[in-house]
Amino acid sequence: MKRDSRLSSVLHALLHMAERGEPLTSEHLAECMGTNPVVVRRTMGLLRNVGLVQSAKGHAGGWSLATDLKAVTLRQLHEALGEPAVFAIGNRNENPDCLVEQSVNAVLDEAFAEAEALLLDRFGAITLADLSAEFSRRHTAHVKERKRNAS
């Protein structure tokens, strides 16, 4: 089953935008993300609709952040993307009159709902600033390691 990686892709794009501090074209973001510029425009359009990014046309145009990194949570981004399913696991519904199937589905539905609520709560506690700080930490460690290996 194919996984929905749009949240991960959006986070990737937004961190590139934050690091550059200038508008980035759909083509540039598509290259960074290994996708098509049309996919970038469609996805960024969803974020623009909720005020998270903005776009400008022309020579110096492109996509840029419209809000502070500290103000954007993973949950907001998940919601902006249309709240895709967080789990690829689903119920069997081949015989809805079967009491066994009904029992299994009821228990699974409850477990899925609880797990999704926990995950979405956690998404609500993680900001783009948190991800940016994690990137900065890793980048600094990477640079130090390269310098140490070059010596």
Question: Is 29:13 a contact under the CB 8 Å cutoff?
Answer: yes
Question: Is 68:17 a contact under the CB 8 Å cutoff?
Answer: no
- Percentage above 70 pLDDT, the chain: 99
Looking at residues 13-23, what average pLDDT do you find? Answer: 92
pLDDT of residue 84: 83
Neighbour tally for 75: CB within 10 Å: 18
pLDDT above 60: residue 41: yes
Provide the token pair at 150. Answer: 């070059």
Tens of pLDDT, residues 95-115:
889 999 999 999 999 999 999
Mean pLDDT lowest for which of 11-20, 63-72, 81-90, 140-149?
81-90
pLDDT above 90: residue 3: no
Kindly report the pTM of this predicted structure.
Answer: 0.84
Compute the chain's Rg from CA coordinates: 20
Closest Cα partner for 45 from 35, 102, 37? 37
DSSP sequence for 70-128: GG-BHHHHHHHTT---S-S-----S-TT-HHHHHHHHHHHHHHHHHHHHHHHHHHH-BH
CA distances from 149 to 116, 119, 122, 136, 140 (A): 43, 39, 37, 20, 14
